[in-house]
Chains A and B, each alone.
Chain A
């Protein structure tokens, strides 16, 4: 069974500072990995995904994430935080070898990002 752990339910950064949101996964096979963002009272929007191509993945809004197999991590970063980045971020994993299960996502519990002016 696969699982996702997001370290820190709340993260605060100053505007212009580095954003680092941590995600570690547990999976018996190299997984597919995703980051989603949720703005207040809205659904989830895909930021980026890793599907076994390049280990450094670039997404929308200046975010990127690096897949590190040795650390079983997929941390999300952005060099300079903007006020509009304040939202909740979810890391998710799927198992590409599990047949129909490869279409299911297992989500972490989320990290709420606050940006301080």
Chain B
């Protein structure tokens, strides 16, 4: 009963370093998302994917890249980390079910600190 799994859960980076956050879902969902959560800002969509091999920009895509090489995985990359990217990152996924509302399932979050 894994659902959406994110790794790593915690990471400290130095400014300019790169890293990749991995998201895996075992629900055969078509859609996957990366959000960031900052105090008083709610959740903001970084990038999303509507299927294997496709990605699209969300509300705050700058400084991030993503890839969806396999349906079950969605990777979020930071090429050159900046302190402004200190945040909690949430991966999520959902079925492609038009007309009945979209329930999005979230992972437990990845805490990233850039110093």
- Of residues 67 through 115 on chain B, the ones whose CB sits less than 8 Å from some CB of chain A are 90, 92, 94, 96, 98-109
Chain A interface residue count, CB cutoff 8 Å, equals: 25
Query: How far is A77 from B57 in the complex, measured between Cα atoms in Å?
Result: 34
Q: How far is the CA of A90 from the CA of B96 in the complex (A)?
A: 22
B12 to chain A, nearest CB (A): 17
- Are the CB atoms of B48 and A51 closer together than 8 Å? no
Known contacts A32-B102, A51-B101, A109-B41: A103-B107 contact under CB 8 Å: no
Chain B residues whose C-beta falls within 8 Å of the C-beta of A34 in the assembled complex: 101, 103
Interface string of A2-22 (1 = CB under 8 A from B): 000000010000000000000
- Given contacts A104-B58, A107-B42, whether A44 and B90 have CB atoms under 8 Å apart is yes
A102 touches B102 (CB 8 A): yes
A46 in contact (CB, < 8 A): yes
Q: How far is A102 from B30 in the complex, measured between Cα atoms in Å?
A: 14
Residue pair B45, A96 in contact (C-beta under 8 Å): no
A44 near B106 with CB under 8 A, answer: yes
- Give the residues from 45 to 74 in chain A that come closer than 8 angstroms, CB to CB, to chain B: 45-46, 49-51
Q: Is there an interface contact between A109 and B40, defined as CB atoms closer than 8 Å?
A: yes
At the interface, yes or no: B43 with Cβ under 8 Å from chain A? yes
Complex Cα–Cα for A54 and B104 (A) = 21
> Whole-angstrom distance between the alpha carbons of A108 and B91 in the complex?
18
Q: A90–B58 contact, CB under 8 A? A: no
Q: 20 extra interchain contacts, Cβ-Cβ under 8 A, other than A9-B40, A32-B102, A96-B101? A: A32-B101, A41-B109, A43-B90, A43-B108, A43-B109, A44-B43, A44-B106, A46-B104, A50-B101, A51-B101, A94-B102, A102-B102, A103-B94, A105-B45, A107-B42, A107-B43, A108-B42, A109-B40, A109-B42, A110-B40
* 5 A-B contact pairs sorted by A residue (CB < 8 Å): A42-B108, A43-B107, A94-B102, A102-B98, A103-B96
B binding-site residues for A, Cβ under 8 Å: 4, 31, 33, 40-45, 48, 50, 56, 58, 90, 92, 94, 96, 98-109
